[in-house]
Amino acid sequence: AGACPGAYSHNFYGGGLAGLTAKLDYLDNLGVTAIYLNPVFFSPSNHGYDTTDFLQIDSSMGTQAEFEAFATAAHARGMHIILDGVFNHTSSDSIYFDRYGRYSQIGACESQSSPYRSWYYFQPVTAGTGPCVGDDGTPGGATYTSWFGYDSLPKLNSANPAVRALIWDSAESVAVHWLQWADGWRLDVGGDVDPGVTADPTNLYWEGFRAAVKTAKPDAYIVGEEWGNPSSWILGGEWDATMNYQLGTALLSFWRDETLTDNDHTTGSAAGPLSPLTPAQLNERLLNLQERYPAEAFAAMLNLLDSHDTNRALFLLDENADEPETQPGLYQNPTYDWSDAITRLKGTALLQMTLPGAPTIYYGDAVGLVGP
């Protein structure tokens, strides 16, 4: 909470790096051996996927000293730290783009002469109608490419040598710098940066990233975000593994009685709907996944049921999960009976914990946090 009652703030009790350090014994007792952190770098948002500066810890989470203390304490308990690398885009309010002119250095949006101009993709528009200076210096003469159409997330030109130097292709790069304390990287929307060796063998972004990371720390873990078939990235030259949404969909589907669709599980989507499976169908799905992936990657997969990008597993397993639109107050009832969904979640977790790969628990699931 902020200093004034009702004031907006990113800060919450126990939600920073110092709070996480204080809970390491609890996590250790659970048997946790690795902690994957959502973005910790400086950002104007609460989610952190719009980086302002890749080399600064966000002040809402703590300080550099607190991050280093957390890393030291985690390593003392035999735990590993995986950082979230958001390298497809930055914040429009970053030191590199500076759409709002907040920084002393000249950002890509502010001037066609900015050293960061070639880091992004600009398109000309009628003078005065765009958010950025045009290539000829015309005020408001340009717009830009952004991730998924969100203008707060201008897309980086990953082929630009200076961008690669910042992220991985230099001794002072982001990827190498943070491995002084971390043990690996999770790569946000990794397929949007480089579609994989079988899709485009000329795009060597993740090959270069892997070489830099493995040189700095040979046992570092590189896991990419990919909701569909990740085979193109896990053939040994790019990622070690992916977030195994395909497995999560199969396990959740097995414990559902009826098909459920939501924003993340729809017909035609990479993850697909949660449609009930018989034991034989589940077995076939699991064998298909095993046959699809190299053995080394299959054993290293980040096996998850839910994440910061999805509804919680307990909600997805509830029989009324498709009802909030027709019954908007359904889950606001403190006496709502979650017992059936909890039983199903226990069964799902049993499979998750005993299959090959690295079972991963989204924070709060262990104590039954719910909510769409």
Catalytic positions: 188, 225
Distance CA 266, CA 214 (A): 37
Residue pair 226/210 in contact by the 8 Å Cβ criterion: no
Separation in Å, CA 370 to CA 180, 231, 324, 336, 342 = 36, 32, 13, 11, 10
CA-wise closest residue to 254 among 271, 230, 279, 235 = 279
**Contact by Cβ (8 Å): 154, 98:** no
Would you give the distance in Å from CA 114 to the centre of its chain? 29
Q: Which two tokens stand for residue 131?
A: 């958010």
